[in-house]
Structure 1
């Protein structure tokens, strides 16, 4: 039985749904459209746009590994506030962060679409700069999206950088401090265990972010997003099942997982790819490490990770 949304829905709620819809669209479909547009322009009279962009891309190819290129106008866009209120989402501060130091935030859980990390770190909808003045967040994501034309510029405008060691070292090596490198520790593999009512975190063999913090004298900021796993339902895929084996194989080949998930629809509540309206509460807790850099050669346990 399909449960349809009522016709008399306030305009504010419609705007919330629209904003989340475009976010889901950008997550699932925008990469393919960007590639199609890049190639398609070559077959039109606007072919020069593709050529010029390709030349710019070559000159700008290292920017995602060098801190990116954020645009505060996009991060502060009013649409993100409607997305925040859709769930709703809140950011809770439990400790002050000294803007003269750099930080590494270990973020859990990944969830299906990392809504909590996106709203709190890629936008100003929850007031990150007000809660943590002088701190600039640099969320990390897979390098693959930065190889997609046009999409790479959109991601960098939100403050995203690539999830490789060189990128993290560049952010944390800034002597003036004030940088917060956010790493979703469980990565794409943690998506496969994201389902309502459970938090299965992937921590084993994921100590690299601790080593990176020690190398650069950064403090750790454990961050947990309560409610992240409540946004979507996922097809059962227990370890050892045929579906899980296929997903693990795809993870090894492509570098990311493909969870089979569903939520609600735009005009009905029974099925679709829209997240459920369930609250997300993200909590930050600073955990200080030595302010000086440490030679990780003396830390064999971390060196092996």
Structure 2
């Protein structure tokens, strides 16, 4: 394989963009593990008190992730995220107004490999969420497992992440006064196994928990499609029925995290590595779907609203796909 090296004369701003994405990839793939090791190692050094005091704090603060988290605006507004935004670049597109007196549920699609569009648009202010949607506070759901990692849980909460538990979602949606947005990457980690360039298949046909949650709280549903999300990485072929796919699905079932074998480019060369390609992402926020509050919705009511949601998501995709260079013969499919 011929290796294409990056030129030496790369402008400083592009080097900073690459560095920002490198730390983000590391945060996703290895920071939680490093935090756990640090917590344990400190217990056997003269700095053991740091971990001991943190353990006390951790016990007292255990339920905070389930109660809206603890965002830190200084971190959400960091210049690091603006460099990351410009690496791709990532753009947040608004198609309708949101009423700041209501709480909403955003369904984010597709998950992609590392959910780059959702992270920048909803867990930072790099793409201007608060300016586009004044009076709204985003809460991005993430696998609950990661909130069990010491130190890392605090880092996640600083960006507005909360666990993907019904209790955490309900807390956000029942907040009085409105102005809260619950963002759910509906396809989850399992959908990441099919994330590759040109893929438009969504794991949605049997994902109805977010619809039931919206009904129980009377929160309007908003379909969100992130064009370009699946273009960031290539992935080792893992068709259904292959030994690799069987292994990945088995690990996902027991570990609750998927392990897609993805690759793209490196830091100093463009031929292989774990950094995403520099390809644009356009995250389009659709129009709210009205939802009547029903504390005990029947399965038929859930199915009906779920069907409406899929129709609206498909319409959103079809209306905008030509703008973002998706071939006319490409359509969404649901599994």
* TM-score normalised according to structure 1 size: 0.97
Gaps of 5+ in 1: none
The CA deviation string for residues 159-207 of structure 1, in whole angstroms up to 9 with x for no partner, is 0000010000000001110000000000000000000111210012201
2:64 is aligned with 1:63: yes
- TM-superposed CA distance for 1:79, in Å, is 1.0
SS at match of 2:43: helix
- TM-superposed CA distance for 1:301, in Å, is 5.4
Partner of 1:138: 139
- Cα RMSD (Å) of the superposition? 1.4
Partner of 2:319: none
Q: CA contact under 8 A between 1:214 and 1:289: conserved in structure 2?
A: no
SS at match of 1:245: helix
Partner of 2:233: 232
- TM-superposed CA distance for 1:287, in Å, is 2.2
Partner of 1:42: 43
Q: Which aligned pairs between 1:179-258 and structure 2 lie closer than 5 A?
A: 179-258=180-259
CA distance in structure 1 between the aligned counterparts of 2:216 and 2:295, rounded to whole angstroms = 6
Partner of 1:51: 52
SS at match of 1:43: coil
CA distance in structure 2 between the aligned counterparts of 1:274 and 1:298, rounded to whole angstroms = 45
SS at match of 2:283: strand
Q: Which aligned pairs between 1:115-194 and structure 2 lie closer than 5 A?
A: 115-194=116-195
How many residues were matched structurally?
304
- TM-superposed CA distance for 1:75, in Å, is 0.2
Q: CA contact under 8 A between 2:122 and 2:129: conserved in structure 1?
A: yes
- TM-superposed CA distance for 1:54, in Å, is 0.4
CA distance in structure 1 between the aligned counterparts of 2:301 and 2:111, rounded to whole angstroms = 25
- TM-superposed CA distance for 1:13, in Å, is 0.2
- TM-superposed CA distance for 1:299, in Å, is 4.2
Partner of 2:302: 302
2:85 is aligned with 1:84: yes
CA distance in structure 2 between the aligned counterparts of 1:251 and 1:204, rounded to whole angstroms = 19
The CA deviation string for residues 103-131 of structure 1, in whole angstroms up to 9 with x for no partner, is 00000001010000000000000000000
The CA deviation string for residues 62-109 of structure 1, in whole angstroms up to 9 with x for no partner, is 111110000010000011100000000000000000000000000000
Q: CA contact under 8 A between 2:103 and 2:173: conserved in structure 1?
A: yes
Q: CA contact under 8 A between 1:296 and 1:302: conserved in structure 2?
A: no
Q: Which runs of 4+ in 1 moved over 4 A?
A: none
Q: CA contact under 8 A between 2:4 and 2:269: conserved in structure 1?
A: yes
SS at match of 2:122: helix
* TM-score normalised according to structure 2 size: 0.89
SS at match of 1:222: strand
CA distance in structure 1 between the aligned counterparts of 2:297 and 2:9, rounded to whole angstroms = 64
Gaps of 5+ in 2: 307-335
